[in-house]
Amino acid sequence: MARINENYLKLKAGYLFPEIARRVKAFAEANPTAKIIRLGIGDVTEPLPEACIKAMKAAVEEMGVRETFRGYGPEQGYPWLREKIAIHDYQSRGCDISAEEIFVSDGSKCDTGNILDIFGDDNKIAVTDPVYPVYVDTNVMAGHTGKANEKGEYEGLVYLPITAENNFTAAIPEEKVDLIYLCFPNNPTGATATREHLQAWVDYARDNEAIILFDAAYEAFITEPSIPHSIYEIPGAKDCAIEFRSFSKNAGFTGTRCAFTVVPKNLKGKTRDGQQVDIWQLWYRRQSTKFNGVSYIVQRGAEAVYTEEGKAQVAALVKFYMENARIIREELTKAGLKVYGGVNAPYVWVKTPEGLSSWEFFDKLLQQAHVVGTPGAGFGAAGEGYLRLSAFNSRENVIEAMNRITSTFNFN
């Protein structure tokens, strides 16, 4: 009989979202007339920008004509898209990133997992707590951890708590680590990293020959001008950081699929015997072998994000969600709740009231206001005592959900 990868058996069986679904289903069955509003999911709700639709329709037409039909494209993405990303997302912000350093892909979720292919199995790995579960689970699958304890922490990983006590900044570790996952603006807490905080991380990484895996999926939601949008805005980051970006949240591509990863040409790793190797070369080889590129049609759609029309439409989408976030923050504050995030990210991170646990507060909101959040404890041990609300919803639903919460509860 074929042997399996037993690391999969160490995974806590995808507990969070199935458990939410189970509780919502049970409540809905017992209360068939309740109109449940879901503010739990990290998925966009508004349709694609018109500029992207137009570009994709034109690309579909091209595919139907012999002269303009395209087969396999370059695995790293078409040069016209990589060029626009380099110019608009990086060079315009003073970051010295070239088109060659951009690798277009079908998602940041897969890239943040796949990147482990090019790193050794004996790296010390640090993640924040709470965390986007993909970073942890892909390391478990790759055999980089031991078993999970009763709090859900895996042996062998270094957890960096991000809580109100440290202003949601991941403290620089005392020990030496080799790979560090950072996500700012943060999912799930909605927190951001200042320039000074990121500089401290870049300095640490350079001093310790570590690599930062920087997930900037939410950079478009930054409203405060002092907050960096890219790790490459920080001097020295090109020597120690890989950045993941996605069109999922800014342009609503969660179902369309397009993202990119930036691997600087001068980024180095080393072999067991101390020889330096270019990381770019390894990722190029990995993608060329295991990936066949993103659909031509979708890449044309992503390219349209960088037109004047596309930029304006994406800005309007972001503004729409951030207005939802503002409403959530203000109404919950009125109800006497302590809230974080929601200023530079589409997530509001709510401190549970009256000493309730994450799941107790989840149940209370569901049963009394028929509103679904995401228990913070599901994102890591340090998320206990918090609940995440997402601004990805219709205005109508957000207002209705907040009316219910403010009229049902007074935690003042």
Ligand X SMILES: *Cc1c(COP(=O)(O)O)cnc(C)c1O
**Residues that bind ligand X in the complex, under the rule CB under 6 A:** 42, 107-109, 132, 183, 187, 215, 217, 246, 248-249, 254, 259
Least distance from C-beta 305 to ligand X, angstroms? 14
Min CB(412)–ligand X separation in Å: 32
Rounded distance, CA 198 to CA 214, Å?
10
Residue nearest to ligand X (CB): 107
For residue 176, the minimal CB distance to ligand X (Å) is: 26
Residue 105 vs 358, nearer CB to ligand X? 105
Beta carbon nearer to ligand X, 259 or 382: 259
Please state the closest distance from residue 198 (CB atom) to ligand X, in A: 17
Taking the C-alpha atoms of residue 387 and residue 352, their distance in angstroms, rounded to an integer, is 7
Beta strands of 108-201 (E only): which ranges? 125-129, 157-161, 179-183
Residue with Cβ nearer ligand X (211 or 369): 211
Instruction: Give the chain's count of helices (H) and strands (E).
Output: 11, 15
Q: How far is the CB of 47 from ligand X (least distance, A)?
A: 17
Q: Which is nearer to ligand X, 132 or 359 (CB)?
A: 132
CA dihedral 233, 177, 208, 129 (to 10 degrees): 30
Instruction: Give alpha helix (H) positions in 64-177.
Output: 79-85, 108-114, 133-141
- Angle separating helix axes 308-334 and 50-63, nearest 10 degrees: 140
Which 3-state string (H, E, C) describes 271-319?
A: CCCCCEEEHHHHHHHHHHHHCCCCCHHHHHHHHHHHCHHHHHHHHHHHH
Considering the complex, state which of residue 108 and residue 313 has its C-beta at the smaller distance from ligand X.
108
Token pair 């072998």 is found at 289
**Shortest spacing between CB 196 and ligand X, in angstroms:** 23
- Using N-to-C axis directions, what is the helix angle for 308-334 and 395-408, rounded to 10°? 10
H or E stretch including 200? helix 195-207
Of 277, 296, 295, the C-alpha closest to 286 is: 277
Our CB check for ligand X shows the closer of 107 and 228 to be 107
Residue 385 φ/ψ, nearest 5 degrees: 90, 5
Rounded distance, CA 112 to CA 181, Å?
9
Minimum CB distance to ligand X, residue 252 (Å) = 10
| Identity of the residue, 185 or 405, whose beta carbon is nearer to ligand X in the bound complex | 185
Rounded Cα distance between 326 and 315, Å, is: 16
Q: Give min distance, CB of 187 to ligand X, in A.
A: 4
Q: Of the two residues 183 and 398, which places its CB atom closer to ligand X in the complex?
A: 183
Which residue number, 238 or 249, has a Cβ lying nearer to ligand X?
A: 249
CB of 215 to ligand X, least distance (A): 5
